[in-house]
Amino acid sequence: MKFETAATTNPIDQLKVVGRPTNRTDGPLKTTGRAPYAYEHQVAAPNQAYGYVVGSAIAKGRITKLDVSRAEEAPGVIAVVTASNAGPLKKANRNTATLFGGPKIEHYHQAIAVVVAETFEQARAAAGLLQIEYAREQGKFDLEASRASATDPKKITAGASDTSVGDFEGAFAKAAVKLDATYTTPDQSHVMMEPPATIATWEDGNLTVRTSHQMVDWARSDLATTLGLEKEQVRVITPYVGGGFGAKLFLRADVIAAALGARAAKRPVKVALQRPLSVNNLVHRPATIQRIRIGAERSGKITAIGHESWSGDLPNGKPDGAVHQTRLLYAGADRMTRTRLAILDLPEANAMRAPGEATGLMALEIAMDEMAEKLGLDPVEFRIINDTQVVPDVPAEPSSDDPQARSDSGGTDEHSAKELRFSQRHLVECLRTGAEKFGWSKRNKIPGQMREGDWLIGHGVAGAIRGNKQMKSAARVRLDRGGVVTVETDMTDIGTGSYTIIAQTAAEMMGIPIDKVVVRLGDSAFPVSAGSGGQWGGNCSTSGVYAACVKLREAVAQKLGFNVTDAAFEDGQVRASGRALPLAQAARDGELVAEDVIEFGGVTEESEQATFAAHFVEVAVDAFTGETRIRRMLSVCDCGRILNPKSARSQVIGGMSMGVGAALTEELAVDKRFGFFVNHDLASYEVPVHADIPHQEVIFFGDADPMSSPMKAKGVAELGISGVAAAVANAVYNAVGVRVREYPLTMDKLLAGLPQIA
């Protein structure tokens, strides 16, 4: 099915099942421990041995000696695999560094060996017997120190590295009110609860991995490439994923180590990366340095806006896309964005929840508050004044009578600019609704004036945007004699509720209760889905199920002698022309099977697809110590039709909680001498816990977007983190009057500006 024109009325619009707050169908399995995660497939892969991954102790250089003899002789050891006996290994395009290193070392904790033994304890003990010597080389581990040597990467995830509309420098110089500020965000880790883990099994030259991965087809393709196999020789199974947040989008060392270990041991091998390797061996969110310049008229209208960002990665890596949201969120005729990439020898940088938007909005939304203060405007009103329904970062087209005219000749007036509108944009409504619900009018615009005992109280706001990308997605549906519909797709459930919204979609389309739907996910033997990433998974995977169900409805109608355009599927029956027959009757002669793929184009490319939010936060800051506590949070979200309000809310409040961590505690401490993340465990990398997160409220604007998909839905998960850190930072400033531009906002950065103690 091709989705090329705006969706019209369809069966999903009945909203009998879709759109209802529905308990997670996988909830009972998870709460009772019956949902098998990657490390727990004991029966499917019997006689498992244990692999223990050894990571490099240097960040850059070479291994000069790797003696495995003592380890091989240790009790219970079956095999020791290193680069010398692993066989030829390639690097897939989605990996920046090789996943199994040696003798060359590209980053700290790069996997250099896997020890396989009868028990985990034996494997770990034997790993300690490896004798390894290195020749260390000087590396670059400091973004600020490497900033001057950063280069134009030509491309970021969200498009070109640089953009320019009009004459930014000239307009900024002429602006009545100006802001020129630099902000920094630190390296951050995903620290998902389930570490990367894999059980690998070989049979007749074919490899099956039961692993924890967000994108099944990517894993299958890249694993085949890395090991020199045909794609058909690889099967990937990942029915349950205990969190990923982007770290499990890409093939990682646990999969390769398990596969190599199993091949050497000639039996199934299971591997889980220990927590330090989950931080240093996995990808991480890179640190950024961001310079933002805003010029405005005294009325508050932005006339010039510029955003420059520097980040680092290994050679052939890519930069953070921090500037992307600045191209879309606020109006301003003359604009510029610029991205630069420094080569660093730290572990690989890559996607972490809302890559680009999360970091960019941490800076932009503080800058917007600072500019509002300079103008003497309320921060909410300043954002509303600069709303736009047209993408502002679209250069003017040359006029027909002046072929030399270019976008730098004078701005974006309506006669010369290409106009690209948003399919839907309700940011103003989000801001106004949130302000009313939150009680924004009670905020004291003068910082440091609201106090309750020893606590200084502050209120903060931030706007947010996150793209709504469409990805091709396929599914297969089966109808059996009992009227049960089974859905099969390689879509994953990473804790987001995929099982449930897919079941809701099939139930709505086929007119049956949700308990008559069986959903099977996370297996490369199933049709290729959009996968879980970029907040495209829910909308796109359900659209693929929608397409397959359209075909199944056609097959059912034909079998029962109905015209499908007249047939109504409801209450387990098919009705048309005064007749009604049980849905199950269509399968009385055998199972009916239908498969289809949703492909996007046309209308989805003719408008800018995005989601929007307004985040409001109240904090209390201890007037003596600078300790910050979150008191309440509100997010108002504009993200199309909500397929399951219960799981959607869970995704948003999870994102909000991550935003609190980004604002107040999360920072990977870089050892700039030796190139590793020092706090590589959950004892020292601090994330918010339940006690840190009090009342959270989420309001959805549930307007269906017919230009997004037949589901008329959009992504929601990553919108929840975008902008939240800045809302916290703005609330802290309102509480104490100390403006911190270096995340996280730890107590030491506030102390000097706290009220004097009598």
Q: Please say whether the dihedral angle defined by the alpha carbons of residues 38, 282, 674 and 743, taken in this order, is positive or negative.
A: negative
CA atoms within 13 A on the CB side of 58: 19
Other Cβ atoms less than 10 A from the Cβ of 577: the count is 10
From the CA atom positions of the chain, what is the Rg in Å? 27
Q: Please say whether the dihedral angle defined by the alpha carbons of residues 240, 244, 248 and 249, taken in this order, is positive or negative.
A: positive
- As a whole number of angstroms, the distance between CA 750 and CA 627 comes to 9
Q: Please say whether the dihedral angle defined by the alpha carbons of residues 438, 442, 448 and 451, taken in this order, is positive or negative.
A: negative
Report the amino acid identity of residue 315: P
| Residues composing the chain | 758
Burial per residue of 219-249, b for 16 or more beta-carbon CB atoms within 10 angstroms, e otherwise = bbbbbbbbbebeeebbbbbbbbbbbbbbbbb
Q: Does residue 637 contact residue 650 with C-beta atoms inside 8 Å?
A: no
Phi then psi for 500, rounded to 5 degrees?
A: -75, -45
**In this structure, what DSSP letter does residue 348 have?**
P
- As a whole number of angstroms, the distance between CA 327 and CA 132 comes to 49
Of 461, 593, 609, the closest CA to residue 539 belongs to 609
Report the amino acid identity of residue 494: I
Query: Which secondary-structure segment (H or E) carries 451?
Result: strand 451-452
CA atoms within 13 A on the CB side of 541: 37
**Dihedral of the alpha carbons of 223, 598, 609, 363, in degrees to the nearest 10:** -20
Phi then psi for 218, rounded to 5 degrees?
A: -60, -45
* Catalytic entry in 169, 554, 718, 742: 718
Q: Specify whether 718 is catalytic.
A: yes
Burial per residue of 466-477, b for 16 or more beta-carbon CB atoms within 10 angstroms, e otherwise = bbbbbbebbbbb
DSSP result, 629-685 = EEEEEEEEEE-BB-S-HHHHHHHHHHHHHHHHHHHHT--PPEETTTTEES--STTTS
Of 355, 325, 345, the closest CA to residue 337 belongs to 325
Classified as helix, coil or strand, 357 is helix
Cα(first)–Cα(last) distance of the chain, in Å? 72
Q: Does residue 696 contact residue 637 with C-beta atoms inside 8 Å?
A: no
Query: Which secondary-structure segment (H or E) carries 30?
Result: helix 27-31
For the annotated catalytic residues, the residue numbers are 718
